[in-house]
Chains A and B, each alone.
Chain A
């Protein structure tokens, strides 16, 4: 199986081509971890880069994410017994009072495509639900979204609740959304801020790498 061709199918958002390529690669004896790590995750990184350069837009992101999801479903049975570890566990959601979902969903999809285990709580999520889900799942990072000036207060309350919940030294919160700025993020005590789905992946990777370095 030509992994370059498989990667191209993923970057092109060709779900049928991607799943056919994954099946062929597995049949040839490639490990699920190698297909994921050497081909599919780099493919999604390329999709993120194209989005950052305004060569890709929301539909292209969604199409590649859909292809990635279908590919990962095929790899899951083998991955589960292989000792493969996700890049990290992340809880995502739009804060209480805000129904805007698509931006946060794009971030969640891009994180999954980059090897993260993501729990997407959807929109209009109360602070306590973020706290409980982070605690129960063992997630080390929560991502909060808000599209309205009027729900920035809920975002601030949620960040506070998460920090007060004692979720561990390595626990981090990132925020984003139309009215959110880096200055606001810093003021409410968030650990990171991202402008869009692609930069959110970079911020999450940096935060998790930094905590791993500190731990090491």
Chain B
């Protein structure tokens, strides 16, 4: 039987309100390549321009094709069995990209390239760059994609806005991680100013999107860690970044919405800050090599929801049998008491095996039938 979207059940399940029920699904977003593959149809436009690049003035002639594209995202989320549609906000900052041929079999963009942040240097290196930078105005942010999706989602389905990068990511992208690192010692006032500007814009974005029709939760994404720790010290994060998280959480919660925090990497020294100080409702993104999601559930599952966790490498290179086994392993530990949603360790990326991705979804459905059959 097809899944009937029910965001209210999703919300209650991850927040452990009421008795435990079937485990819902969660992912941060899906790459266009995966959406096309699952639906078996192509986007009518090259979404790269709209997803990864700032959009000041949307050409009117693009609107019909963009609406068709948003419709595809809604159909994808409904088809897979999510209770919400993930959709990008209008907050995006101009920065430096570098492109390389996409090494995945399934491509995201018509030009066959994948775009990566320039890690070395970004557009802001000094105060002159900061002053000249085309900062968007909070009052002029255009959340047209969210507004459109919010107006067309099926009954029971919500919208989950995500920002393209968080406070730490955008600040380091604007300078380049290397320049940002030097600036912490050489120009701390500039670092503070950049983080403050980004943080204020992100907070304004969160407040704006949390009040839009049908928005159910806000996804704050900010990759803080790598394999063995946070990229910068917890002290730096607490000084420059965490205060803005707190403002975002306040804005989201005042609107009565759920706040999910996504970060890749080993950022676990920050978990108490995020739970007790910021007040996140859920944590997403787990890697088996760093900390399997079951361990995260054991450590923090009584205080926040723990989401996803099927390892991206397994979903990319593993067998369908291994994916089904791992999905079941996770559900056996995390699935019975609420506070958990099944999903990938990161995103429904274009480079995942489509069959493995769908096997994970199917195995969760089977597990739910076995454990929560009414």
Interface residues of A (CB under 8 A from B): 13, 54, 57-60, 62-63, 66, 97-103, 105, 124, 148-154, 178-179, 181, 195-196
Min Cβ gap B90→A in Å is 27
CB–CB A63/B228 < 8 A: no
Option from B236, B313, B317 in Cβ contact (under 8 Å) with A59: B236
Residues 82-124 of chain B, each 1 if its beta carbon lies under 8 Å from chain A, else 0 = 0000000000000000101101100000000000100110000
Provide the residues of chain A in CB contact with B351, threshold 8 Å. Answer: 148-150
Residues 286-301 of chain B, each 1 if its beta carbon lies under 8 Å from chain A, else 0 = 0101000000000000
CB–CB A57/B227 < 8 A: no
Min Cβ gap A3→B in Å is 23
Known A-B contacts A148-B351, A149-B313; the reply to A101 vs B185 at CB < 8 A is no
Option from B226, B229, B232, B312 in Cβ contact (under 8 Å) with A149: B312
CB–CB A196/B182 < 8 A: no
Please give me the residue from chain B that is nearest to A58 by CB atom: B231
What's the Cα separation between A183 and B142 when bound, in Å? 47
CB–CB A58/B232 < 8 A: yes
Option from A54, A105, A154, A179 in Cβ contact (under 8 Å) with B103: A154
Known A-B contacts A59-B236, A62-B182; the reply to A181 vs B289 at CB < 8 A is yes
Identify whether the interface residues of B are mostly helix, strand, loop, or mixed.
mixed
Q: Tell me if B177 is interfacial: C-beta within 8 Å of chain A.
A: yes
Known A-B contacts A101-B119, A102-B119, A102-B177; the reply to A63 vs B229 at CB < 8 A is no
Provide the residues of chain A in CB contact with B236, threshold 8 Å. Answer: 57, 59
CB–CB B229/A54 < 8 A: yes
CB–CB A196/B231 < 8 A: no
CB–CB A124/B100 < 8 A: yes
Please give me the residue from chain A that is nearest to B352 by CB atom: A149
What's the Cα separation between A148 and B350 when bound, in Å? 12
Min Cβ gap B48→A in Å is 16
Min Cβ gap A165→B in Å is 23
Query: Which B216-240 residues sit within 8 Å CB-CB of chain A?
Result: 226-233, 236
Residues 179-194 of chain B, each 1 if its beta carbon lies under 8 Å from chain A, else 0 = 0111011000000000
CB–CB B184/A59 < 8 A: yes
Provide the residues of chain B in CB contact with A124, threshold 8 Å. Answer: 100
Min Cβ gap A151→B in Å is 5
What's the Cα separation between A206 and B45 when bound, in Å? 53
Provide the residues of chain A in CB contact with B116, threshold 8 Å. Answer: 99-100
Provide the residues of chain B in CB contact with A13, threshold 8 Å. Answer: 185
CB–CB A101/B227 < 8 A: no
CB–CB B231/A57 < 8 A: yes
Provide the residues of chain A in CB contact with B289, threshold 8 Å. Answer: 178-179, 181
Provide the residues of chain A in CB contact with B181, threshold 8 Å. Answer: 58-59, 62-63
What's the Cα separation between A105 and B228 when bound, in Å? 16
Provide the residues of chain A in CB contact with B337, threshold 8 Å. Answer: none
Option from B119, B232, B316 in Cβ contact (under 8 Å) with A150: B316
Q: Tell me if B269 is interfacial: C-beta within 8 Å of chain A.
A: yes
Min Cβ gap B44→A in Å is 26
Min Cβ gap A2→B in Å is 23
Provide the residues of chain B in CB contact with A97, threshold 8 Å. Answer: 100-101, 103
CB–CB B228/A100 < 8 A: no
Q: Tell me if B272 is interfacial: C-beta within 8 Å of chain A.
A: no
Q: Tell me if B178 is interfacial: C-beta within 8 Å of chain A.
A: yes
Min Cβ gap A174→B in Å is 15
What's the Cα separation between A54 and B120 when bound, in Å? 23
Provide the residues of chain B in CB contact with A151, threshold 8 Å. Answer: 103
Provide the residues of chain A in CB contact with B101, threshold 8 Å. Answer: 97
Min Cβ gap A48→B in Å is 12
What's the Cα separation between A167 and B316 when bound, in Å? 33
What's the Cα separation between A178 and B120 when bound, in Å? 19
Min Cβ gap B287→A in Å is 8
CB–CB B120/A101 < 8 A: yes
Min Cβ gap B146→A in Å is 29
Query: Which B54-78 residues sit within 8 Å CB-CB of chain A?
Result: none
Q: List the 3 closest A-B pairs by CB distance, nearest first.
A: A59-B181, A97-B103, A149-B316
Provide the residues of chain B in CB contact with A59, threshold 8 Å. Answer: 180-182, 184-185, 232-233, 236
CB–CB B103/A150 < 8 A: yes
Min Cβ gap B182→A in Å is 7
Known A-B contacts A54-B229, A148-B351, A149-B317; the reply to A63 vs B103 at CB < 8 A is no
Min Cβ gap B69→A in Å is 24
Known A-B contacts A58-B177, A98-B103, A101-B120; the reply to A179 vs B230 at CB < 8 A is no
A–B complex contacts, Cβ < 8 Å, 22 sampled: A54-B229, A54-B269, A57-B230, A57-B232, A58-B226, A58-B231, A59-B236, A60-B233, A97-B101, A99-B100, A102-B119, A103-B226, A149-B312, A149-B317, A150-B103, A150-B104, A150-B316, A150-B351, A151-B103, A153-B103, A178-B227, A195-B228
Known A-B contacts A99-B98, A101-B119, A102-B177; the reply to A178 vs B316 at CB < 8 A is no
Provide the residues of chain A in CB contact with B230, threshold 8 Å. Answer: 57
Among A97, A149, A179, find the residue whose CB has the most chain B CB atoms closer than 10 A.
A149
